[in-house]
Amino acid sequence: MPSEKHKMLSGQWYNPLDKALSAERLASRKLQHQFNHSSPEDEATRRAVVKQWLPNTGKHFYVEPPFYCDYGYNIRTGSKVFFNFNCVVLDVAPVVIGSNVFFGPAVQIYTVNHPLDALKRRTLLEQALPVTIGNDVWIGGGAVILPGVTIADGSVIAAGSVVTKDVPTGVLAGGNPCKVIKAINAVD
Q: Which residue numbers are catalytic? A: 114
In 3-state terms the chain splits into helix, strand, coil percentages (rounded to 5) of 20, 30, 50
Whether the ω angle into residue 177 lies within 30 degrees of 0, i.e. cis, is yes
What residues are paired with 75 via a beta bridge? 95
Whether the ω angle into residue 94 lies within 30 degrees of 0, i.e. cis, is no
Which strands make up the sheet holding 150-151, listed edge to edge?
A: 75-77, 95-97, 131-133, 150-151
| Residue 179 parent element (H or E) | strand 179-183
